[in-house]
Amino acid sequence: MDGVRRDIQYAIRNLLRRPGFLAIAVITLAFGIGGTTAIFSTVNALLVRPLDFPDLERVVAVWETQPSRGVSRNEASMANYLDWRAQNQTFEHLGLIRWWSANLTGVEPPERVQGFLVSANFLNVTGVSPLIGRGFAADEDQPGKEPVVILSYGLWQRRFGGDPARSWMGAKPWKPC
């Protein structure tokens, strides 16, 4: 045990004599630990712990492909989704989801938000429901209808203070950017 104590004292003395080496060692360890933590968190969230949908084993993603462009997973177009839905004889529900972003204004400072454009039945497909408020009405994804937004809990807390009355006060129709 005495030898271990002496080795530690010797290592500390040498590190204090060379502060540049100490700084590089600490930075290297910090990057290594940070990178490992980030990778583990991502793998854990995406692969180890499944999404919190009821009956997840029954949820399937359907993609379009464009082999001529080298695209193996492309979001479906609205026209194809409508055709698939009209001809569907296999799936219990069929919903559409596409990446979306817009500028949130009217609450200072403006903020770029990202989310999804979804079909009106998306919440039925996933089996989830909003924490408060309502889901989408059946006709709200039709052309010419006013857009409806369901806020994430994080955005609702951060930008509207979690206040249901404040979330809707002065709401104006939005236009995607």
Q: What confidence tens digit (pLDDT) does each residue in 44-62 have?
A: 776 676 666 777 777 778 8
**pLDDT value of position 177:** 41
For the chain, first and last CA: distance in Å? 68
Token pair, residue 149, equals 């937004």
> What is the per-residue pLDDT across 75-96, written as a single tens digit (0 to 9) for each?
888 788 889 889 999 888 888 8
pLDDT-derived band at 36 (thresholds 50, 70, 90) equals: very high
d(CA 65, CA 72): 5
Q: Looking at the whole model, is its pTM more than 0.85?
A: no
Tokens 């930075």, located at residue = 27
Percent of the chain with pLDDT over 90: 10
Residue among 105, 110, 91, 122 nearest 173 (CA)? 105
174 pLDDT above the threshold of 60:
no
